[in-house]
Amino acid sequence: MDNTHIKNKKLLMTRTGAEREKQQSAEKAGKPITKRVRITITLTLFWFMLCGTGSVTPAEEWKQAVTPWQWVFPRDHGQHPEYRTEWWYFTGNLSDSQKRRYGYQLTFFRQAIASSPLRPHNPWSVRDVYLAHFALTDVSGKHFRHYDRSSRTGPGLAGADKDSMNVWTLNWSARMKKNGIHLEARQGDATLKLELRPRKPIVFHGEKGRSRKGPQEGQSSYYYSLTDLETTGTIKTPWSREEIRVEGTSWFDHEFGSNQLTRDQVGWDWFGLHLSDGRDLMVYFLRKSDGSIEAASSGTIIEKDGTTQHLNAADIRMDVLDRWTSPRSGAKYPSTWQLRIPAARIDITLAPLVTDQELTTTASTGITYWEGAVAGHGTSEERDVAVEGYMELTGYAGSLGGVF
Amino acid sequence: MRVVTKSFLRYLLKRRSLSVLQLLGIACGVAAVVGMTLSAGSALSSFAQAVEFLRGKSTHVIERPAGPMEEKILKNLMNDPAIEAFSPVLDRQVRIESGDTVRLLGIDPFLDRVVRPELGYTPSAGDSSGRLGQFVDFLRKERSVLIENGLAAQLGVQPGSIIPTSKGDLYVLGLFPNPSGEPLLLMDIGHAQELLGLSGQVDRVDLILRDETGFRTRWSEGYRIQSHRQRKETLVAMLSAFRLNLEALSLLALFVGVFLIYNTSMFAVVSRRRDAGILRSLGTYRKEIVLAFLMEIMLFGIVGGALGGVLGYLLSRFLTGLLGNTITNLYFFLRPAAPAWSNWIVLAGSFLGCGASLLGGFLPLQELVRLDPVEALSGRAASRKAEKKTWHVALVGFCIIALGIALLLMSFVHVYVGFAGIFIFLLGIALVTGALLILIGPALKWVLYHLGGLPGKIAAGNIRRNLGRTSVAVSAFMVALALSIGLGAMIGSFRQSLLWWMNTQLRGDLYISTITDTQVPEDFYREVLAIPGLGGVDPFRNVQVTYKDTQISVTSVDASVLQRYTRFGWLRGGNENWDGVKSGAVIISESFFRRFKVKEGSTVTLEGINGPETLKVQAVFYDYTTEHGLVMMDRATYLRLYNDRTINSLGIFIDPGNPRRQELLEEVRRRARLRGLPILTRNQLQGNILTLFDSTFAVTRSMRVMAIVVAFFGISGALLTLFIERRRDFGIYRALGFSTSQIAVMTLLEGLGMGIVSFLLSTVTGTALAIMLIKVINLRSFNWTIFYYPAWQPYVLTGAVALCASIGAALYPIWKVRRTYPQMQIREE
């Protein structure tokens, strides 16, 4: 690498920094800023409804993620109803026999409305609402399609077991059987039927799985992942219209808590990446309305052998190299990133595999965000590596501004 | 040419009053047709819209053959690969304070928003927090409802209000628009289950299917799956008999209209014969006269038609409401939107008026073409010749009557043939009128002489001498009156048959709840059953099921109770027919028997919860509850077939000799009141049915009024022409020494004489018409026998109308006579 290249890069970085400032001042002046992070995706609709009406359990009645959690599996793969919000998050990068690349996302959210149903004998009596997002990316065809839905528990319409992983929203489901996780989803011409087998042990983020989301005591959640899941199965995309055998790597996040957010958090950028040298990397950045980064932002490096290393915000350098504006929402998302973690000797650039992987989820959470397959390259411990994974960018589209 | 036309037009101006009547006549005829057609069209199209609206995006519906289904099947539906989306629905009625029932839909907003996004009760991105709060309340707050805008306005409620209903108070959370206008309440499905006592049950599931065939193979047994096209067709088919009746009424309106216009044109020609003769003798071409006359007819047709279009539009606004009520009472809720105004209505009216005028003017024009100027100038056609012609026409009339009767006999081909037969029959009768007038002549002379002395005698002579005109007037008047009698007698007989039927079937002392009301809890049935001393309790259940791809009714009763306390009108046999019903056979209504050609002793196969089941038909009974066919069975059979324990109402029977009768009745009432169930005595129930019956015939009755109005204009116009034309005669009478009063009496009696003759003829024709409507049209379109009950009311009513109309029509000429000097009347113009 010669100097000019580095210089150019620096210039680029400076420009993007200035750009970011410009955008933030524009947001302050004009568009109402939506404040949400990954957690809020599940919350938006309901959390604010609850505050507004007061007809349901007040926030204090929910357990807070304040003490370290005593993890027991498979029990903790199940739901934790004493916490208000919970999600099971699956993303993955796949390819077929012709080396065509695909990406998928299947997410289940549980959002409690009240700590107990009004009429326990009637299954329609609402306690939890389940919301789900499902997306497929066809990298070679440059296609992206996403679906979302919501349902109350009802007579078996949606739910999650308490003692193991079995979560479903109508006919979308994630079930753990004999150490493998089975994912199934079908909507219209899109279907997904995958089996996921972990290659690395469970990873606990933050302090033994308690992940801080802000400075206050209760502003945390319990968060663990299965970062390296060997994936096989079939998908059917609206563009192929026939079943495709695929294999690849998936990432599973399970998180639950009650009260993670502060109002000055605008959104967040999350990355779940597989490096070709066997390292996995999770990074999230909470963005605040004043343009700064929440000090509690953090990350985790998972080595090839499964050992983990916690990263503080100060350990991570993120720079936006390019941006993309959504023609639908008008939101301007960062697209190309440079990610550097000097302590772990990681320096990679990332770009979306398909530019437009924006989700507008009118049938469930009502939030517009970007979540999609990304890939890149760079160096890890001075060795060239290829990177693939998923990126989630929230808080860039102002569609729910009025609610807040 | 211009001279001729001008002379014709000048005539119109000079005879202003006559022209106005003529115009009004055409306008009324056109208005009747336009009004009827517009409102029928509007009712049927709103119906289609209403069905479409609540259907949403769903393609199919799955339900049990009868009664609700268990909600646990939702889990299986959820995993069925053929289903794209589904939404369970509880579809019931609640009674509001005014006594009206309102449809209550219990839905799950999460599932339903995919199927019916346009209902828009679920908040979406960008909604205010108020909407979100409302949504949470909808889910969490029991007894909370969303109310359709129209109903909210009607009840004067807004968010936060309370609606008292038969099921307790409901809390209004918000309003939503419903383009079909059906009063609708939306409630969360869980709360609806609690409110209605239907835990674990849903009425149906609306589906969006992507693979119908696959789905049907998996769900065929024990369920009824209908595509929305089928469902709509079924609903449309339910209306078919009703629609046919509407069409027939429109046609009837058209018939009366054209007849009236014909009548008017006839007079126009006849009254112009003389002018035409003068013009011809002055050297005008025949062609020019015909053209001028045609122009006059067209002018009248266009102006009158346009006016008729406007009047018809106004009429349709009124009729549409009536039609909506009728359909609501008989079939399902419908509040048709009033037809929208369009300039095309005027154009269509003109076109119709013009067409009918030309049609009506055809015969008179023929006469004008053949006109001999000398004969025309000599005044009116020689009566001898006219009489001869009258006999010829009568002969043709008799042939047409025969043809009409032949068609009526052939009505088994299609009910339209029957309608055609009726029209042709009426036409034939109209043609025979002239001859009948000659035959009746002497009798009329005698009557009028005794009524008014010499002027009466002259009046009778006048009627006969001016046969060419009077017969047309009389026949038009007669047809209109006959229509009034026929419709009236038909409705009367139907009402009598209904009364008879009610006394055969509805013999209970008390009825708890009604079929349109909310249901009776089964434990209440058991509770009432346990009261010692009651003669019998009949748990009545009526449900719509599909049989041979159409909707029929299945009714479940307690056969032993009915055997003991009712006297069904059996086609054959007596109450021993119930013995078979007790052991699992069914009885069928006459409409079922005629519609599906199922005879007693044969079998019917019904789709039950365990697949098709064949049941023996024990007997056929007279019934007027549904024209689509009804199968009645014992509750035990019904439960085996459908496993539906719903009860719509209870009939309570107590032996008349029971000394504790009053006490028992009070006991049942008390218990029903405790449950908030409506209680009706036999008389109240029968009264309700009669009210319903009467309201369903509102349209027919308004048609009858229309016929009378049209008749009034017809007879007035005809008489007026007659008198105006003969003003000179009045002068001569005056000169001969008749006093003004005598001439007035003469005029009056002439009008009266025509009225009497028209009425007498119409009694015969009307009775014939009533019998045809009963024995042919009703039997063919509704598949039920109405027994003909002679009644005097329609005759008296119609007679009174005839009297008033003929006297009223004579008043203007009388006023004219009194005002004008005799010499002016003699003077040649």
Give the DSSP per-residue string, B59-119.
-EEEE-SSS-EETTHHHHHHT-TTEEEEEEEEEEEEEBTTS-EEEEEEE-HHHHHHH-GGG
Whether A80 maps to a domain, the answer reads yes
pLDDT the model gives residue B143? 92
Whether A24 maps to a domain, the answer reads no
- Which residues of chain B make contact with A121, given a CB cutoff of 8 A? 199
Whether A220 maps to a domain, the answer reads yes
**From the candidates A124, A193, A400, which should be mutated to test the interface with B, based on the most B CB atoms within 10 A?**
A124
H or E, element range at B277: helix B273-281
pLDDT the model gives residue B320? 85
pLDDT the model gives residue B826? 52
Whether B94 maps to a domain, the answer reads yes
Reduced to 3 DSSP states, what percent helix, strand and coil does chain B have, rounded to the nearest 5?
65, 15, 20
Whether A246 maps to a domain, the answer reads yes
- Which residues of chain A make contact with B137, given a CB cutoff of 8 A? 53, 55
Alpha-carbon gap: B638 to the closest alpha carbon of chain A (Å): 28
Alpha-carbon gap: A156 to the closest alpha carbon of chain B (Å): 6
Reduced to 3 DSSP states, what percent helix, strand and coil does chain A have, rounded to the nearest 5?
15, 50, 35
> Residue B120's closest chain A neighbor by CA?
A363
Tell whether A120 lies on the interface with B, counting CB pairs under 8 A.
no
- Which residues of chain A make contact with B123, given a CB cutoff of 8 A? 45, 366
pLDDT the model gives residue A379? 95
Tell whether B132 lies on the interface with A, counting CB pairs under 8 A.
yes
Cβ-defined contact of A366 to B125 (cutoff 8 Å): yes
H or E, element range at B586: strand B586-589
Together in a domain, B810 and B688: yes
pLDDT the model gives residue B280? 76
Assign residue A42 the CATH number of its domain: 2.40.370.10
Together in a domain, B714 and B658: no
H or E, element range at B710: helix B698-725
* pTM for this prediction: 0.75
Tell whether B100 lies on the interface with A, counting CB pairs under 8 A.
no
Alpha helices in B615-681 (DSSP H): 635-642, 661-674
Which residue stretches of chain B have pLDDT < 70?
A: 1-4, 8, 12-15, 17, 120-131, 253-254, 261, 267-271, 332-333, 371-386, 514-518, 711, 714-715, 718, 723-725, 727-728, 820-829
pLDDT the model gives residue A165? 94
Together in a domain, B582 and B642: yes
Whether A21 maps to a domain, the answer reads no
Q: Distance between alpha carbon A83 and the CA centroid of its chain, in Å?
A: 19
Cβ-defined contact of B74 to A155 (cutoff 8 Å): yes
Would you say B489 and B763 are in contact if contact means Cβ atoms under 8 Å apart? no
**Could you count the other beta carbons within 10 Å of the beta carbon of residue A339?**
21
Gap between the Cα atoms of B593 and B599, Å rounded: 6
**From the candidates A44, A157, A175, A241, which should be mutated to test the interface with B, based on the most B CB atoms within 10 A?**
A157
Whether B386 maps to a domain, the answer reads no
Count up the domains in chain A and report the number: 1
Q: How high does pLDDT run on average in chain B?
A: 83
Task: Give the Å distances, CA to CA, from B257 to B263, B363, B474, B754.
Answer: 10, 17, 15, 20
Write out residues 33-72 of B within 8 Å (CB-CB) of A: 71-72
Together in a domain, B546 and B570: yes
Alpha-carbon gap: B71 to the closest alpha carbon of chain A (Å): 7
Together in a domain, B256 and B155: no
Together in a domain, B665 and B620: yes
Cβ-defined contact of B137 to A55 (cutoff 8 Å): yes
Tell whether A360 lies on the interface with B, counting CB pairs under 8 A.
yes
CB-nearest partner of B193 from A113, A122, A362: A122
Together in a domain, B80 and B203: yes
Whether A338 maps to a domain, the answer reads yes
Gap between the Cα atoms of A286 and B236, Å rounded: 60
Gap between the Cα atoms of A337 and A321, Å rounded: 5
Whether B406 maps to a domain, the answer reads no
- Which residues of chain A make contact with B133, given a CB cutoff of 8 A? 49, 52-53
Which residue stretches of chain A have pLDDT < 50?
A: 1-56, 399-404
pLDDT the model gives residue B384? 60
Whether B187 maps to a domain, the answer reads yes
What is the per-residue pLDDT across B428-464, written as a single tens digit (0 to 9) for each? 988 888 888 888 888 888 888 888 788 888 888 888 8
Tell whether B113 lies on the interface with A, counting CB pairs under 8 A.
yes
Together in a domain, B687 and B777: yes
Together in a domain, B648 and B702: no
Tell whether B190 lies on the interface with A, counting CB pairs under 8 A.
yes
Cβ-defined contact of B140 to A171 (cutoff 8 Å): no
- Which residues of chain B make contact with A152, given a CB cutoff of 8 A? 108, 110, 139
Whether A12 maps to a domain, the answer reads no
* A265 Cβ neighbours under 8 A, 6+ residues apart: A35, A36, A37, A213, A214, A286, A287, A288, A289, A294
Together in a domain, B25 and B138: no
pLDDT the model gives residue A47? 42
**Could you count the other beta carbons within 10 Å of the beta carbon of residue A292?**
10
Q: Provide the residue count of chain B.
A: 829
* A382 Cβ neighbours under 8 A, 6+ residues apart: A345
Count up the domains in chain B and report the number: 4
Cβ-defined contact of A49 to B188 (cutoff 8 Å): no
pLDDT the model gives residue B42? 82
Q: Which of these three, B677, B706, B729, is where a domain ends?
A: B677
Would you say A147 and A187 are in contact if contact means Cβ atoms under 8 Å apart? yes
pLDDT the model gives residue B340? 80
Together in a domain, B645 and B658: yes
Tell whether A118 lies on the interface with B, counting CB pairs under 8 A.
yes
CB-nearest partner of B75 from A152, A155, A187: A155
Q: Can you give the residue range of the structural domain that contains A335? A: 31-58+72-403
Whether A20 maps to a domain, the answer reads no
Q: Can you give the residue range of the structural domain that contains B602? A: 514-677
Whether B1 maps to a domain, the answer reads no
Alpha-carbon gap: B125 to the closest alpha carbon of chain A (Å): 5
pLDDT the model gives residue A281? 94
Q: Which of these three, B638, B654, B677, is where a domain ends?
A: B677
Whether B422 maps to a domain, the answer reads no
Q: What are the start-end ranges of the E strands in A188-331?
A: 190-198, 203-204, 210-212, 220-236, 244-257, 265-275, 280-288, 298-302, 308-312, 317-325
Write out residues 204-243 of B within 8 Å (CB-CB) of A: 210
Whether B808 maps to a domain, the answer reads yes
* B101 Cβ neighbours under 8 A, 6+ residues apart: B93, B94, B95, B516, B517
CB-nearest partner of B113 from A119, A363, A402: A363
Together in a domain, B91 and B24: no
> Residue A187's closest chain B neighbor by CA?
B84
**From the candidates A34, A40, A49, A55, which should be mutated to test the interface with B, based on the most B CB atoms within 10 A?**
A49
Number of inter-chain CB pairs under 8 A, A vs B: 104
Alpha helices in B647-697 (DSSP H): 661-674, 682-696
Degrees to nearest 5, angle at CA A9 with A6 and A10: 90
Whether B8 maps to a domain, the answer reads no
Gap between the Cα atoms of B59 and A214, Å rounded: 49
Cβ-defined contact of B125 to A154 (cutoff 8 Å): no
Look up residue B113 and give its two tokens.
């928003």
What is the per-residue pLDDT across A39-56, written as a single tens digit (0 to 9) for each? 333 344 444 434 333 334
Alpha helices in A275-392 (DSSP H): none
Torsional class of B308: left (φ above 0), alpha (ψ -120 to 50), beta (otherwise) = alpha
pLDDT the model gives residue A92? 95
